[in-house]
Structure 1
């Protein structure tokens, strides 16, 4: 096992001292309350941004709540590049508020727009509800770009953990023409294979924020039918081809049970001709971006993500696309 960063060691000591019930031992509503309270405790005060707007994207299942963040710096009339962000939480936990700090910071660092998506959660709304909501959100942003102050030729999609899974799926849908093609897919310690067969499920069974039993709890709620777990909309790693998807930024952490599957996904993207920036942090663990009060590396990672977004957006719509 690789060494742990001192901040992560301190985080794990704090989590053990709290002696909180494992998320997988709680019913979803209680787990959601516990998760949200933890995010609030582990994140610093939120950044001020130039503008926040609560919106809703229409969908056949009903309006999908969104929150638009406009970073400080650009003129109010400027049409900005935009990152459509999907929060983590195992498709069961999390919402716009749990990832508010992350989205504010990215909006300011990119001097652009971030739109956070409050997709439906399992088990009340199992697969493919989250995919449908995420797709409706991206389509809405592209269609209503002018009114949102967004440059529809410079879109990106991204997310952490379960949100990284959804972002990878949207990138495949963009490749296939179902959704707009984006300049970048930002996959932050993503879950990409819900068959749960990677080495991480044997390696991380205790002592980390995300363990094998926690991940099984999430997957059982999100995709209760085992046959659906090989559907590429649930497991993008099971797609027949990844060629032609948007350039990718893939973050992996050495003490994360999703590490092996996410690194394999990055390697496969590269083999199939997709430009990839892979950032592997051997001494970090899952979920650090929403634990930034204790894990200082989180701010550095977001700066790195922002610089990658700015670079891709500067290439323009065509320059930011992978080959087919």
Structure 2
């Protein structure tokens, strides 16, 4: 099935050229941010204004990490809501809480599901390669559990959610948590995740990408994991774990027109084979980033409604 023609028409009508890729990480981030500022308001929904609190968490041996909490209502002393620790996407080299899609998504999910969304502003490669982002994610999770009472969070009702590279971090973090502390996690939500970084874009046989795009993807991977041998580590490539037992129930969303589609579906199958409860949904007609384009895609609206409904089950 081709990409949703309505999505293609809408993007084409905007007349915003896709920015050239850059080998300078700061320039690449600036171009990606400017492009999203130009197109996202026409493709994705605006998030509601919610009470927000920001905390800076110390990380042993790594840079401190900022966590922004989106509350569905003004926090009070007696508040004890479910929470979702959220990781944005961006190929490990770009993205952030300042991006309109990330801010809107976190606010919408907090409001739609009535949960506290704790968004992790993890450090980016190449300045901060693996395992910095993962260790920051671990510190954020450990902090959220330990400080739950003062944050208005129920530590027994915590979900993890991540998109693209963020999904990779979530899958790795569930394994790290199992082996380190076994904090109770209610679920993991993986949206278009990359779970086998040992396979580069050329090894995957990716179609439809230019030589420049393939080279840029390979460069991004090298920035995040400079030592090729580390890409076999399950904390880099969660699909290569020796065991999936003891991981939280998973909800896996893949996009039909996405080179990473098979990654997510293989991971869902591996979890199911290990006895982990899994639900998997393939978003037909959507590219990698299409799940956030609710303004123009009925499939994206259904997918985001499913995520919100899944998070609402934390109240059960």
1:273 aligns with 2:275: yes
Q: Whole-Å Cα distance in 2 between the matches of residues 140 and 192 of structure 1?
A: 25
Match of residue 37, structure 2, among 35, 40, 52: 40
State the 1:18 CA deviation: 3.6
Q: Whole-Å Cα distance in 1 between the matches of residues 87 and 110 of structure 2?
A: 14
Where in structure 1 are there 5+ consecutive unaligned residues?
316-324
1:228 aligns with 2:221: no
How many residue pairs were aligned? 309
State the 1:14 CA deviation: 5.7
> Alpha carbons of 1:46 and 1:12: their partners in 2 closer, same or farther (altered >3 Å)?
closer
**Stretch deviating more after TM superposition (296-305 or 83-92):** 296-305
Q: Where does residue 205 of structure 2 map in the other structure?
A: 202
Q: Which runs of 4+ in 1 moved over 6 A?
A: 73-76
Q: Where does residue 180 of structure 1 map in the other structure?
A: 183
Q: Where does residue 62 of structure 1 map in the other structure?
A: 63
> Structure 1 length normalisation: TM-score?
0.87
- 1:68-100 CA-to-partner distances (Å, cap 9, x unmatched) read 001149977421100000010011001112211
Query: Quick check: 1:212–1:257 contact (8 Å CA) kept in 2?
Result: no
Q: Whole-Å Cα distance in 1 between the matches of residues 302 and 74 of structure 2?
A: 20
> Alpha carbons of 1:157 and 1:211: their partners in 2 closer, same or farther (altered >3 Å)?
farther
Query: Quick check: 1:92–1:122 contact (8 Å CA) kept in 2?
Result: yes
RMSD (Å), alpha carbons:
2.4
**Stretch deviating more after TM superposition (49-58 or 131-140):** 49-58
- 1:23-75 CA-to-partner distances (Å, cap 9, x unmatched) read 3x341101111112222233346322441111111212232111100114997
Query: Quick check: 1:57–1:66 contact (8 Å CA) kept in 2?
Result: yes
- Matched ranges for 1:63-102 at <5 A: 63-72=64-73, 77-98=78-99, 99-102=102-105
State the 1:154 CA deviation: 0.2
- 1:196-217 CA-to-partner distances (Å, cap 9, x unmatched) read 258983233427xx95444323
1:28 aligns with 2:25: yes
Query: Quick check: 1:174–1:181 contact (8 Å CA) kept in 2?
Result: no
Matched residue of 1:62: which SS? strand
> Alpha carbons of 1:153 and 1:168: their partners in 2 closer, same or farther (altered >3 Å)?
same
Query: Quick check: 2:268–2:278 contact (8 Å CA) kept in 1?
Result: yes
Q: Whole-Å Cα distance in 2 between the matches of residues 167 and 304 of structure 1?
A: 19
Q: Where does residue 108 of structure 1 map in the other structure?
A: 111
State the 1:172 CA deviation: 1.1
Matched residue of 2:178: which SS? helix
Matched residue of 2:282: which SS? strand
> Structure 2 length normalisation: TM-score?
0.89
1:137 aligns with 2:135: no
1:310 aligns with 2:312: yes
> Alpha carbons of 1:294 and 1:39: their partners in 2 closer, same or farther (altered >3 Å)?
farther
Q: Whole-Å Cα distance in 2 between the matches of residues 157 and 314 of structure 1?
A: 15
Q: Whole-Å Cα distance in 2 between the matches of residues 299 and 78 of structure 1?
A: 30
